[in-house]
Amino acid sequence: MSAPVTLINPFKVPADKLEAAIEYWEAHRDFMAQQPGYLSTQLHQSIDEGATYQLINVAIWQSEADFYQAAQKMRQALGHVQVEGLCGNPALYRVIRT
Amino acid sequence: MSAPVTLINPFKVPADKLEAAIEYWEAHRDFMAQQPGYLSTQLHQSIDEGATYQLINVAIWQSEADFYQAAQKMRQALGHVQVEGLCGNPALYRVIRT
């Protein structure tokens, strides 16, 4: 059985779109949390408003396959980004050092 | 007492510098792990080698002040980046949603 994977998704958020971006994230979190292999997620907000990435999502999934299947279903169910200028840069990771 | 903060540091890593970047990170982790307020850290490596950020460090600190004092001492003790082309983009975050 493969080890869990970590999705890290840094978001560039236009200055006036923070609330809308959080609502967008919540809708997608609610969908993904129902999918097989979902383990946990944490949405981080930067303390410094000038940070490159004001929001970063860090989510744990049981496997790569689980995540990709859920992400495909999410795109079909929720469509693409509806918050103008919101730009994510998701990738899957494994913890290699602590 | 303020809530813990999360340092998230995405690294752009030149193709031939992954090992050197991990060794650089380990030296800094060893120093920071001795500082007051350090709680934990996880270094993530992207599963897809083509990801924008091949390494992302996620560390938990007791407070902003603890982190900034430790980071200042680290720069004095270890100096600046010695891995050519390695580019971090650190910022402090708080978890706002799970």
Q: Report residue A61 as tokens.
A: 């999934």
Instruction: Look at strands A5-12 and A87-88 and give their pairing.
Output: antiparallel
Q: Do residue A44 and residue B10 have CB atoms under 8 angstroms apart?
A: no
Please give the distance of CA B34 from its chain centroid, rounded to a whole number: 14
- For testing contact with chain A, the best of B39, B42, B52 (most A CBs within 10 A): B42
Domains and CATH numbers, chain B: 5-93 (3.30.70.100)
Q: Is pLDDT above 80 for B81?
A: no
**Which candidate from B5, B64, B95 shows the least CB-CB separation from A43?**
B95
pTM for the structure as a whole = 0.95
Stretch 33-62 of chain A: residues touching chain B, C-beta under 8 Å: 40-48, 51-53, 56, 58
Q: In this predicted model, what pLDDT tens digit does every residue of A32-82 receive, in sequence order?
A: 999 999 999 999 999 999 999 999 999 999 999 999 999 999 999 988 768
From residue B63, alpha-carbon distances to B2, B67, B92 in Å are: 6, 6, 10
| Block residue for tokens 């097989």 | A36
Beta carbons within 8 Å of B3's beta carbon, 6+ residues apart: B94
Q: Are A46 and B91 in contact (CB under 8 A)?
A: yes
> Which residues face B12 on adjacent strands?
B87
pLDDT at residue B82, as a whole number: 82
Could you give the ipTM of this predicted complex? 0.94
Cα A40 to Cα B26: distance, rounded to the nearest angstrom: 27
Written as one letter, the residue type at B78 is L
